[in-house]
Amino acid sequence: MKRMSKITNAVLAFALVSSVSVGMAFAEDQKPAAEAPAAAAAPAAAAPAAAPAEDKVTGSVGLGVFNKYIFRGYELSNNSAVIQPTATINYKGFSATFWSNIDSSEHATQNFTPDRPNQTSFNETDITLGYTYSIDKLSLTGGYIYYGIKYNSNAETQELYLSATYDMIAHPTLAVYRDIASFPGTYLNLSFSQSFPVIKMPNGDATIDLGAGFGYEIGSGNEWNTYSTTTHAYTGSKYSAPHDGNVKVGFTIPVTKIFSVQPVAQYWFPLSGDANKVINDPHHGSFALNPNGQLRDIFVYGLNATLNF
């Protein structure tokens, strides 16, 4: 009940701020990668932003610097800074995004085993390919994501995804991701985003950017077996539960007509007791129910810089 109260309060707070903004000229917060720079740490939980089907090539390049790398609630860095370059190209509804993570000094967490402990590591490179089709106010996006990772003893994995976004206040987006390689399973994410102008500037309006996301994980492969006190190993039923939640706020400043900077802050939290559950196995120790480690409350902050073309 305590965890559900936290979720309810987060949703109500976002809804309240959004409702106060009705009637204003909102600017949609568009980010190049599915879950990454905006989340200050994740390469793919709301699907890639819908790209207008223009006859010319458009795109962006960006750089994010944050205190943490968080992916779907998992803490994938600790006591270091992470640098996350990204680049996106759009053409007639098609999009291609490159995203990567550089950890300034890798340290282990309950979700993360470093490939270069205490050293700088270029430890993840992701490529997202997608196509967006719009029907009135509804945008449907489908595609493929390749994750090239150097940690946790897995070199890569792949996902197929499909998302739907409706053009209304809070821009609700429902996305479904299906891992087809190393971690067979399905991840569902419901997210909201809204930007509104607060200061008029020579190169456009500075905006406050709000967002929230809520995920559900459904494991199907053996990699998702939960911990069993009977076998003293991860041989239990597949992990399936409300998984991760986050709320975030950013402040976008248009330095020029094509270049902007955005300080961001984000709060991540587990959505259920199973997501952060630890099992105490007598004489054997304590183990997270989820084989990929328990989730915890985490605060992320940093800065995005984006150049559009």
Q: Which amino acid is at 179?
A: D
71 within 8 A of 301, measured Cβ to Cβ:
no
Query: In the prediction, which pLDDT does 154 show?
Result: 74
Q: How far apart are CA 238 and CA 201, in angstroms?
A: 52
**10-residue stretch averages of pLDDT, the chain, 309 residues long:** 44 39 31 36 43 78 98 98 98 98 97 96 98 97 97 90 98 98 96 97 97 98 96 97 98 98 98 97 96 97 98
CATH code, 264: 2.40.160.40
- For the whole model, what pTM was predicted? 0.84
The b/e string for 29-41 (b: 16+ C-beta within 10 A; e otherwise) is bbbbbbbbbbbbb
Q: Provide the domain count of the chain.
A: 1
The angle formed by the CA atoms of residues 280, 283 and 289, to the nearest 5 degrees, is 25
Q: How far apart are CA 232 and CA 219, in angstroms?
A: 20
Query: In the prediction, which pLDDT does 30 show?
Result: 33
The b/e string for 229-264 (b: 16+ C-beta within 10 A; e otherwise) is eeeeebebebbbbbbbbbbbbbbbbbeeeeebebeb
Token pair listed for 193: 């985003």
Which structural domain range is residue 136 located in?
2-308
Q: How far apart are CA 215 and CA 17, in angstroms?
A: 22
Closest CA to 249 of 262, 236, 260, 240: 262
Query: In the prediction, which pLDDT does 53 show?
Result: 58
